[in-house]
Structure 1
Amino acid sequence: MSNPNGVAFYVPGALLLLAGCLKLPAVWRIPKDELLRSVCVLLFVAAGVFAVAAVPSIAAINRITGIPNAAAPVVYTILTAFSGSSLVLVIHWSSGPAQAEQAARWSRRCHWATLAVITAVIGLFALGDAPAERLVDLDTYYANTPYIREMIVLYLVAHTTAAVTMTVLCTRWARVVQGPLRAGLVLILIGYVLSLVYDALKFTAVGARWTGHDLDRLSWPVAPPIAALSALLIGIGFVLPRLSQRFMELVGPWRRYHQLQPAWRELRVATPHSINLVGGLRTPIDVRVCQLESEIYDGILTIHPYLDPEVHALSLVEARKTARTDEDAAVIADAAAVAHAVVVWATRTADQSAVPDERSGDGPVLSSAVNAAGLVLLSQALAKSPIVRATRVAAVLESSTR
Structure 2
Amino acid sequence: MRWDISGSWVSYAVPAVLFAVAFVIKLPLLRRAWQDPILRATAVLLGIGTLVFVSLPPANLHRINVLTGVPNFAALWVCSLATAYCGACLWLIITWREPPSAARRRRTRQVGLAYAAVIAGLCVTFLLADHRVERLRDLDTYYARTPWMREFILLYVVAHTASALVAAGLLRAWYREVADTWLRRAVIFLQEAYALGLLFDVAKFAAVAGRWSGRDWDWLSTYAAPPFAIAEAALVAVAFIVGQAGPVLAERRRLVREHRRLKPLWQAMLAITPPAAPATGRVSGAALRLELRRAAINDGLLKLGPYLSASRRERVRSAATDAGYPEPVARGIAGAVDLRFAEAALHAPDDPEHPHSEAEFSVLPCAPDSELENVSHALRNHEAAIERFYRQALAGEDSGAGEAPERGKALGMGEAPAHGT
Normalised TM-score (structure 1): 0.79
Q: CA deviation at 1:216?
A: 0.7
- Give matches, 1:346-361, under 5 Å: 346-349=343-346, 352=349
Q: Distance in 2 between matches of 1:370 and 1:340?
A: 16
Cα root mean square deviation, aligned:
3.5
1:58 aligns to 2:61 (yes or no) = yes
Who is 2:392 aligned against? Answer: 398
Who is 1:216 aligned against? Answer: 218
Who is 1:36 aligned against? Answer: 39
Q: CA deviation at 1:352?
A: 4.9
Match for 1:132: what amino acid?
V
State how many pairs are aligned.
378
Q: Distance in 2 between matches of 1:131 and 1:187?
A: 40
Distance change in 2, residues 1:280/1:134 (3 Å): closer
- Give matches, 1:88-127, under 5 Å: 88-95=91-98, 98-99=99-100, 102-127=103-128
Deviations 1:278-323 (A, max 9, x none): 213476665543343233334445253254323334556777x86x
Match for 1:136: what amino acid?
R
Do 1:42 and 1:85's aligned partners in 2 also have CA atoms closer than 8 Å? yes
Who is 2:412 aligned against? Answer: none
Deviations 1:184-220 (A, max 9, x none): 3333222222111111111111122222222111111
Range moving further from structure 2, 332-341 or 20-29:
20-29
Do 1:348 and 1:354's aligned partners in 2 also have CA atoms closer than 8 Å? no
Range moving further from structure 2, 191-200 or 250-259:
250-259
Q: Distance in 1 between matches of 2:191 and 2:246?
A: 18
Which has the higher Rg, Structure 1 or Structure 2?
Answer: 2
Which of residues 341, 353, 374 is equivalent to 1:378? 374
Deviations 1:99-154 (A, max 9, x none): 46554443222222221221122222223333333221121222223332222222
Deviations 1:43-77 (A, max 9, x none): 21111111222212222233333333222222211
Q: Secondary structure at the match of 1:308?
A: helix
Which of residues 337, 340, 349 is equivalent to 2:334? 337
Distance change in 2, residues 1:276/1:108 (3 Å): same
Q: Distance in 2 between matches of 1:391 and 1:185?
A: 49
Which of residues 295, 304, 313 is equivalent to 1:308? 313
Distance change in 2, residues 1:134/1:76 (3 Å): same
Distance change in 2, residues 1:252/1:101 (3 Å): farther
Q: Distance in 2 between matches of 1:44 and 1:379?
A: 50
Match for 1:163: what amino acid?
A
Q: Distance in 2 between matches of 1:280 and 1:312?
A: 36
Q: CA deviation at 1:227?
A: 1.1
Q: Distance in 1 between matches of 2:76 and 2:7?
A: 20
Range moving further from structure 2, 105-114 or 244-253:
244-253
Who is 2:84 aligned against? Answer: 81
Q: Distance in 2 between matches of 1:231 and 1:293?
A: 44
Match for 1:395: what amino acid?
F
Match for 1:278: what amino acid?
P
Who is 1:363 aligned against? Answer: none
Distance change in 2, residues 1:240/1:273 (3 Å): closer
Normalised TM-score (structure 2): 0.76
Q: Distance in 1 between matches of 2:318 and 2:235?
A: 53
Do 1:260 and 1:380's aligned partners in 2 also have CA atoms closer than 8 Å? yes
Do 2:15 and 2:233's aligned partners in 1 also have CA atoms closer than 8 Å? no
Do 2:171 and 2:187's aligned partners in 1 also have CA atoms closer than 8 Å? yes
Distance change in 2, residues 1:336/1:277 (3 Å): farther
Match for 1:339: what amino acid?
A
What 5-or-longer segments of structure 2 have no aligned partner?
Answer: 356-365, 399-421
What 5-or-longer segments of structure 1 have no aligned partner?
Answer: 323-328, 359-368
Do 1:2 and 1:220's aligned partners in 2 also have CA atoms closer than 8 Å? no
Distance change in 2, residues 1:357/1:182 (3 Å): farther
Instruction: Give 1 or 2: higher helix fraction.
Output: 1
Q: Distance in 2 between matches of 1:356 and 1:186?
A: 68
